[in-house]
Amino acid sequence: MILAGQPACAPTAGDMEGPFYKQNAPERSKTGNGLVVRGIVRSARDCAPLSGARIEWWQANTKGSYDDAHRATMRAEKDGSYRYESDFPPPYSGRPPHIHVKIFAPGHRPLTTQLYPKPDQKEISFDFVLRPQ
């Protein structure tokens, strides 16, 4: 919650979508094992949680290729929280390990970004902050 005189939440920086995005990924919150990403989807307007925000995930499989088994769509809970689990993404073609994320919420600009887990990291805690339209 924002107190009087405090700035609103800073919006999450965007990152490239890349050539492997596909719409209509299956609805699920797990595409593998070993890396958990959790947090809250918030509005930059007032840091309020964005209930029901649609979160899309895609990443390379453990061999470094993109496949449908590592694509997912999920919804943030009523309190804006989410939990996604997948395999640890491998480096490929000179790119560091990364997971692509695209988030949509009514009244907010879509956000496309990437998360970059550190080697041997098992969990990432990350709040996505969307800009109002």
- How far is CA 76 from its chain centroid? 11
Average pLDDT over residues 26-44: 97
Q: Which of 94, 91, 115 is nearest to 103 (CA)?
A: 115
- Whether 29 is covered by a domain: the verdict is no
Domain that holds residue 119: 35-130
Residue 76: the pLDDT is 98
pLDDT band at 7 (very low <50, low <70, confident <90, very high): low
Cα gap 101→31, rounded to integer Å = 14
Residue 119 has pLDDT above 60, yes or no: yes
Q: Which of 55, 126, 64, 69 is nearest to 89 (CA)?
A: 64
- Whether 45 is covered by a domain: the verdict is yes
Q: How many domains does the chain have?
A: 1
Query: For 36-91, how does the pLDDT look when each residue is reduced to its tens digit (9 = 90+)?
Result: 999 999 999 999 999 999 999 999 999 999 999 999 999 999 999 999 999 999 99
Residue 1: the pLDDT is 42
Average pLDDT over residues 6-10: 69
- Whether 30 is covered by a domain: the verdict is no
Q: Which of 111, 54, 59 is nearest to 90 (CA)?
A: 59
Q: Which two tokens stand for residue 129?
A: 């902050």
* 3-class secondary structure, 75: strand
- Whether 23 is covered by a domain: the verdict is no
Task: Indicate yes or no: pTM above 0.85.
Answer: yes
Cα gap 75→79, rounded to integer Å = 11
